[in-house]
Amino acid sequence: MQDSPANVVQPDWLDDIQWTEDGLVPAIAQDADNGDILMMAWMNRESLRLTVEERQAVYWSRSRGKLWRKGESSGHQQVLRDIRLDCDADVVLLKVEQKGGIACHTGRRSCFYRTLKDGQWVSAEPVLKDPDSIYGNN
C-alpha cells in the first residue's frame, strides 16, 4: 500500500541550506522594486524561519548574540516579498520592501555606500537621516 501524499513527510526546507560551522548563512537584502542591494547580514535557522513566518526580515546579530528584527529600533522594517537561495545553497537573497527608505544604521539607503576611488573608499551616497535622530544618542 502506497502512502498518500498527506502521509509523506517532506524534508524541512531549512535543511536544504548549507549553513556555516556556526550555523549561519549570509543574507542579502535587495529592494524588490528596483534591485538595489541594501545590506548583508547573517541569519540562523530561527531567524530565517521567523522571516518567512512573519514576512519581515529577522537577522542574527553576531555582535549581540541574539535575534535582530530589522527596524525594531529605527522603524525601518524590511517586508519580505520573495526569498531566493543561490545555486550553492549557501547564500539567501531577500527581496524586500524597505520601510522608510533607509536600510543602513548610518542613515543611508544602502549599507553599500562607499566606492573605491583613487585607492581610497569614499562615500557615494548621502546620509538621508542623522543616525542620532533615528537611534538616539547612546
pLDDT tens profile 31-75: 999 999 999 999 999 999 999 999 999 999 999 999 999 998 899
Q: Give whichever of 1-5, 7-11, 69-73, 120-124 has the largest mean pLDDT.
A: 120-124
> The domain containing residue 88 runs over which residues?
16-132
86, part of any domain? yes
Residues 6 or more apart whose Cβ sits within 8 Å of residue 132: none
- Structural domain count of the chain: 1
**For residue 82, what is the domain's CATH number?**
3.10.20.810
80, part of any domain? yes
Q: Give the end-to-end CA distance of the chain in Å, rounded to a whole number.
A: 65
3, part of any domain? no
More confident residue, 122 or 136: 122
Mean pLDDT of 72-98: 96
10, part of any domain? no
What is the distance, to the nearest Å, from the Cα of residue 38 to the centroid of all Cα atoms in its chain? Answer: 9
* 118, three cell numbers: 583613487
87, part of any domain? yes
Predicted pLDDT at 123:
97
67, part of any domain? yes
Predicted pLDDT at 4:
45
Percent of all residues in the chain with a pLDDT value above 70, rounded to a whole number: 91
7, part of any domain? no
On the question of pLDDT at 2 being above 50, the answer is no
103, part of any domain? yes
